[in-house]
Chain A
């Protein structure tokens, strides 16, 4: 007879049989994705309600004749009940239509397709730097816990969390682009022009953006590794005569993987938002400049489109993180 157990994982409860737990986990997590999408789209829709006064008047300009205002209102459907407006937005979204920009008359999805690679490349490079810096620092700090190396790394991490990324970016430009001229300070080279130039243009913004994230990774990994290193099985492994690097990397790091993956996932969504600001420092034409222009032009469909794409990517990241728990934490699979 198949025995069922009740296990709580993140959202909701799963009934788990002897096998296929991971499959159930994936299915359940995917199912919770749909109501979340619905709520998220509702929040994005509600941005319309925040526009002060009458959006049609705002769009038409201060001294536009009433007929023009009325035609805009009719065109954009502001006369319909809110429920109808929302239903229409969802209907369009399901078909992959994000609407049309009010200021440029270009489909929002076209503009996003053009600018998103810049933001995503920047986020990707920043995350890579954050992991490359944060993980070794976190491990070393935990291994040398309480000693001067630990205190030094912890100090850097505390400063890193407090430093505004755009200020760090300006300082990096000053040193590495103006003083020594190792890296370009502005512009973006598409990946299709080669990995080298693409990466060279993203080094400084990536470092500036990834700095705070690396600090956060260092802090979290340090405390997770400290916990792991104080466990009995570490003492056993050491007693068996295993070399410290092997004990740290194989035994302890594996057990600190869940908090590490969690913080990386969280930081990825933070970086996605931070990238919008960093783009301005390095004059990159990504979603950030698109968003700032949309705000200046009161281009609400464009703004909503950018937010929807951002939140969708962040939801996918969260989904991947949740699913990875099944891999990193064997206890979730075994039972």
Chain B
């Protein structure tokens, strides 16, 4: 047997034996640590990426700030301190705005809105987008054709323009902005889920399940869903940053969060109006948006790179 393999593999028996040795050594290491679950392998790969870990730490910090924000903020969300348009001082770390409200406190209050906005928009997109994608991938034929034509029609729109139009038709407000962004992003989830289902459908274990007489419903829940979960998680984590940017843009235009409620987008919008008097006003909300989107993106990239090879490629 060795001889046959040695003939086929270029490099000769020495090289081939070295390969085999190397493989055996690797196996021994694995066995000494015990069998590794997929979850542990994922965690180990993820925590090896420095940028992703820093990003995750930042997001965890943000979530904590969002939850305990009201106790953390030195001033109230709309408390007037009497000092107008001040730069950073000992009392007001990040200065005050044109009505005398403390920027640092408002930044903290806005964190809750920013995070819940991003998560609810992506939640809406998943809720609207996943089921059509599953059906299209699984049933094929005219269902697939119809769903994909609708998806393509939605994807033809410039994303922000469609969000603006939907938000505009429904009227300003955070809830409407979230719905608008969710509708805009749903087709992306449909397309991704359909692709993942089509890829899973080709696998032999689906064929095996079908030949054993499994029903479509059983195949869907037992085999297809668990296998499209990882690409779905990657898509969700990568979408969070984009939805946060979209919310900020809509709020900047006065469509998303309605003042006096604080949101990073509306804070930038107010800062823009007073930009010539106090340019510093724009820096804190702008940097918060940038850092949070950056954190979402690096964590998303990290999650993608920590899954198996198939997902890393797609």
A106 at interface, CB cutoff 8 A: no
A266-317 residues at the B interface, CB under 8 angstroms: 269-270, 272-274, 276-277, 280-281, 288, 291-292, 294-295, 300, 303-304, 306-307, 310-311, 314-315
B132 at interface, CB cutoff 8 A: no
Check A307 against B157 for contact (C-beta < 8 Å).
yes
Check B249 against A170 for contact (C-beta < 8 Å).
no
With known contacts A47-B166, A158-B297, A272–B282 Cβ distance under 8 A: no
Contact partner of B152 (CB less than 8 A), chosen from A36, A159, A294, A304, is A36
Contact partner of A311 (CB less than 8 A), chosen from B156, B170, B290, is B156
Interface residues on B, range: 35 or more
Check B161 against A310 for contact (C-beta < 8 Å).
yes
Q: List 13 A-B contacts (CB under 8 A).
A: A35-B149, A39-B153, A40-B153, A43-B157, A164-B268, A174-B279, A269-B158, A270-B160, A273-B163, A295-B172, A295-B255, A307-B161, A310-B161
Check B293 against A162 for contact (C-beta < 8 Å).
yes
- Measured in the bound complex, the distance between the Cα atoms of B150 and A298 in whole Å is 27
Check A277 against B276 for contact (C-beta < 8 Å).
no
Check B166 against A178 for contact (C-beta < 8 Å).
no
B13 at interface, CB cutoff 8 A: no
Over the window 48-67 of chain A, the binary record of Cβ atoms lying under 8 Å from chain B Cβ atoms (1 yes, 0 no) is: 10111000000000000000
Over the window 32-75 of chain B, the binary record of Cβ atoms lying under 8 Å from chain A Cβ atoms (1 yes, 0 no) is: 00000000000000000000000000000000000000000000
Over the window 137-177 of chain B, the binary record of Cβ atoms lying under 8 Å from chain A Cβ atoms (1 yes, 0 no) is: 00000000000011011101111111111111111100000
Q: How far is the CB of A157 from chain B (nearest CB, A)?
A: 11
B272 at interface, CB cutoff 8 A: yes
B275 at interface, CB cutoff 8 A: yes
With known contacts A310-B158, A314-B156, A300–B169 Cβ distance under 8 A: yes
Check A40 against B156 for contact (C-beta < 8 Å).
yes
Check B275 against A174 for contact (C-beta < 8 Å).
yes
Check B149 against A39 for contact (C-beta < 8 Å).
yes
B241 at interface, CB cutoff 8 A: yes
Interface residues on A, range: 35 or more
In the assembled complex, which residues on chain A have CB atoms less than 8 Å from the CB atom of B282?
167, 170-171, 174
- Measured in the bound complex, the distance between the Cα atoms of B298 and A292 in whole Å is 33
Check B252 against A280 for contact (C-beta < 8 Å).
yes
Check A167 against B286 for contact (C-beta < 8 Å).
yes
| Closest A residue, CB atoms, query B282 | A170
In the assembled complex, which residues on chain B have CB atoms less than 8 Å from the CB atom of A315?
156
In the assembled complex, which residues on chain B have CB atoms less than 8 Å from the CB atom of A11?
152
Check A303 against B152 for contact (C-beta < 8 Å).
no
What is the predominant secondary structure among interface residues of chain B facing chain A? helix
Check B156 against A162 for contact (C-beta < 8 Å).
no
Q: How far is the CB of A314 from chain B (nearest CB, A)?
A: 5
In the assembled complex, which residues on chain B have CB atoms less than 8 Å from the CB atom of A16?
none
In the assembled complex, which residues on chain B have CB atoms less than 8 Å from the CB atom of A294?
168
In the assembled complex, which residues on chain B have CB atoms less than 8 Å from the CB atom of A173?
275
Check A292 against B275 for contact (C-beta < 8 Å).
no
In the assembled complex, which residues on chain B have CB atoms less than 8 Å from the CB atom of A274?
160, 249
- Measured in the bound complex, the distance between the Cα atoms of B165 and A270 in whole Å is 15
Check A170 against B161 for contact (C-beta < 8 Å).
no
- Measured in the bound complex, the distance between the Cα atoms of B290 and A288 in whole Å is 23
A301-335 residues at the B interface, CB under 8 angstroms: 303-304, 306-307, 310-311, 314-315, 318
B249-292 residues at the A interface, CB under 8 angstroms: 249, 252-255, 268, 271-272, 275-276, 279, 282, 285-286, 289-291
- Measured in the bound complex, the distance between the Cα atoms of B268 and A312 in whole Å is 31
Check A50 against B170 for contact (C-beta < 8 Å).
yes
Check A277 against B165 for contact (C-beta < 8 Å).
no
Check B290 against A159 for contact (C-beta < 8 Å).
yes
Check B169 against A162 for contact (C-beta < 8 Å).
no
**Residue from the set B157, B163, B245, B290 with the largest chain A CB neighbour count within 10 Å:** B157
A112 at interface, CB cutoff 8 A: no
Check A162 against B294 for contact (C-beta < 8 Å).
yes
B248 at interface, CB cutoff 8 A: yes
The 8 closest A-B pairs by CB, nearest first: A273-B160, A273-B158, A295-B168, A167-B286, A39-B153, A162-B294, A162-B293, A50-B169
With known contacts A164-B289, A174-B279, A178-B279, A303–B165 Cβ distance under 8 A: yes
Q: How far is the CB of B127 from chain A (nearest CB, A)?
A: 17
- A residues with a Cβ closer than 8 A to B are 11, 35-36, 39-40, 42-44, 47-48, 50-52, 158-159, 161-167, 170-171, 173-174, 178, 269-270, 272-274, 276-277, 280-281, 288, 291-292, 294-295, 300, 303-304, 306-307, 310-311, 314-315, 318
In the assembled complex, which residues on chain B have CB atoms less than 8 Å from the CB atom of A288?
253
Check B297 against A162 for contact (C-beta < 8 Å).
yes
In the assembled complex, which residues on chain A have CB atoms less than 8 Å from the CB atom of B165?
44, 47, 291, 303-304, 306-307
- Measured in the bound complex, the distance between the Cα atoms of B298 and A113 in whole Å is 42
- Measured in the bound complex, the distance between the Cα atoms of B285 and A272 in whole Å is 24
Q: How far is the CB of A323 from chain B (nearest CB, A)?
A: 16
**Residue from the set B161, B172, B255 with the largest chain A CB neighbour count within 10 Å:** B161
- Measured in the bound complex, the distance between the Cα atoms of B165 and A307 in whole Å is 7
In the assembled complex, which residues on chain B have CB atoms less than 8 Å from the CB atom of A51?
169-171
Contact partner of B253 (CB less than 8 A), chosen from A35, A167, A269, A292, is A292
Check B156 against A307 for contact (C-beta < 8 Å).
no
- Measured in the bound complex, the distance between the Cα atoms of B297 and A44 in whole Å is 31
Contact partner of A178 (CB less than 8 A), chosen from B248, B252, B276, is B276
In the assembled complex, which residues on chain A have CB atoms less than 8 Å from the CB atom of B294?
158-159, 162
Check A273 against B166 for contact (C-beta < 8 Å).
no
Check A273 against B161 for contact (C-beta < 8 Å).
yes
In the assembled complex, which residues on chain B have CB atoms less than 8 Å from the CB atom of A292?
253-254
Q: How far is the CB of A89 from chain B (nearest CB, A)?
A: 15
In the assembled complex, which residues on chain B have CB atoms less than 8 Å from the CB atom of A159?
290, 294
Check B150 against A39 for contact (C-beta < 8 Å).
yes
Check B290 against A167 for contact (C-beta < 8 Å).
yes
In the assembled complex, which residues on chain A have CB atoms less than 8 Å from the CB atom of B162?
273, 307, 311
Contact partner of A52 (CB less than 8 A), chosen from B154, B171, B268, is B171
Apart from the given pairs A39-B150, A163-B293, A314-B156, 10 other A-B contacts in the complex at a CB distance below 8 Å: A39-B153, A43-B157, A161-B293, A162-B293, A163-B290, A178-B279, A273-B163, A291-B165, A294-B168, A314-B158
